[in-house]
């Protein structure tokens, strides 16, 4: 089991008893229904594989893992059980700066030893130096650790490409922000050197804002397409949430609605634990970083009213 340190406040004996009573009730309901949730399925599968391995061996010789920063302890328990520990057993790619789901995990606590076997990659081929520098500014002042439990460096990353300086577009109101977005997207679609329309994206914090932007731009005569779980289709610029944009890339990106109260969203649910609140804030920083680095060539950032506190002076200076 993964140690609980850094995942919230400690519980006294009475509180622990209350928590276990809820867990037992949940397990009793699951048994009655004949169901398990995914972490339980992964843990049960891992335990089974570990039991049968001595006489039957492991299922695989090698396992490749991508986006390792977003996996849970149950995921890692199952992955560890799939392959025998040894040279070239697990090949893991991860970027703790992009951890927008889940909790912090230290691999050594789960029987996966990577110390002395890992290498840090610092050259970015997707986005320009200017966009990367702006995005890294979002992470300044925050403490990130990798899957080895070691501090992440922010200053060593570099880009193989150069491009225009990111645009900061403050607005007085939502109406003005939509007007500005319509002008910008229209210019990106029809201007000189315009890329294919589907390589232009507007990224927002949630689905409500996504649908509001799609409707607002339609009222202004700009056709865009909302993207949820489906793939991006050719023919029109897309609007999607920042979470949905993970794993994608676009020639030109507008981050829309990066304002106070929206990015980050309310952290009130974490008020009972300062550790959990700070971890949630790290994920919000990572989400904005992920969104900004979806832009290969051109990046613009807009907001109405007060800018997000994550757009602190360092990030704004880097775009000047």
**The pLDDT of residue 137 is above 50:** yes
pLDDT, tens only, 249-294: 999 999 999 999 999 987 766 666 777 888 888 899 999 999 999 9
Contact 226, 211 (CB under 8 A): yes
pLDDT, tens only, 291-306: 999 999 999 999 999 9
Tell me, what's the pLDDT at 3?
Answer: 46
**The pLDDT of residue 318 is above 50:** no
Residues 6+ apart with CB under 8 A from 41: none
Q: How far apart are CA 241 and CA 266, in angstroms?
A: 17
Instruction: Summarize the chain as % helix, strand, coil (round to 5).
Output: 40, 15, 40
Q: Tell how strand 158-159 and strand 123-124 pair up.
A: parallel
pTM for the complete prediction? Answer: 0.86
Which residues are paired to 167 by β-bridges? Answer: 300
Confidence of residue 4 (pLDDT cuts 50, 70, 90): very low
Percentage of residues in the chain having pLDDT higher than 90: 66
Contact 277, 231 (CB under 8 A): no
Q: For residue 37, what are its two tokens?
A: 């949730």
**The pLDDT of residue 69 is above 80:** yes
Query: What's the distance, CA 94 to chain centroid?
Result: 12
For the ranges 18-32, 84-98, 205-219, 255-269, the maximum mean pLDDT occurs at 205-219
Tell me, what's the pLDDT at 272?
Answer: 62
Contact 96, 149 (CB under 8 A): no
Domains of the chain: 13-123 (no CATH), 124-318 (3.40.50.300)
């Amino acid at each position: 089991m993964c140690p609980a340190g850094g995942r919230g406040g400690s519980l006294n004996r009475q509180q622990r008893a209350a928590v276990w009573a809820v867990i037992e009730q949940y397990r009793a309901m699951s048994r009655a229904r004949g169901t398990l949730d995914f972490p339980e399925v992964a843990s049960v599968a891992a335990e089974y594989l570990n039991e049968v391995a001595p006489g039957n061996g492991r299922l695989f010789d090698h396992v490749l893992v991508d986006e390792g920063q977003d996996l849970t302890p149950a995921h890692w328990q199952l992955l560890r059980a799939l392959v025998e520990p040894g040279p070239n057993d697990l090949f893991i790619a991860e970027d703790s700066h992009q951890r927008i789901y889940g909790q912090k995990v230290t691999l050594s606590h789960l029987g996966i030893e990577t110390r002395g076997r890992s290498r840090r990659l610092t050259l970015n081929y997707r986005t320009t130096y200017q966009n990367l520098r702006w995005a890294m500014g979002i992470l300044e002042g925050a403490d990130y650790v990798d899957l080895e439990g070691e501090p992440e460096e922010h200053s060593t990353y570099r880009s193989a490409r150069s491009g225009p300086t990111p645009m900061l577009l403050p607005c007085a109101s939502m109406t003005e922000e939509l007007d500005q977005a319509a002008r910008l997207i229209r210019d990106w679609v029809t201007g000189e050197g315009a890329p294919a329309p589907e390589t232009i994206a507007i990224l927002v914090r949630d689905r409500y804002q996504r649908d509001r932007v799609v409707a607002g731009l339609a009222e202004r005569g700009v056709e865009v397409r909302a993207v949820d779980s489906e793939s991006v289709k050719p023919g029109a610029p897309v609007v999607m949430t920042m979470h949905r944009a993970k794993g994608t890339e676009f020639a030109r990106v507008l981050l829309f609605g990066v304002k106070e109260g929206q990015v980050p969203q309310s952290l009130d649910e974490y008020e009972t634990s300062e550790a959990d609140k700070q971890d949630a804030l790290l994920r919000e920083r990572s989400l904005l970083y992920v969104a900004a680095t979806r832009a290969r060539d051109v990046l613009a950032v807009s907001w109405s009213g007060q800018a997000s506190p994550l757009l602190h002076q360092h990030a704004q200076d880097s775009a000047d």
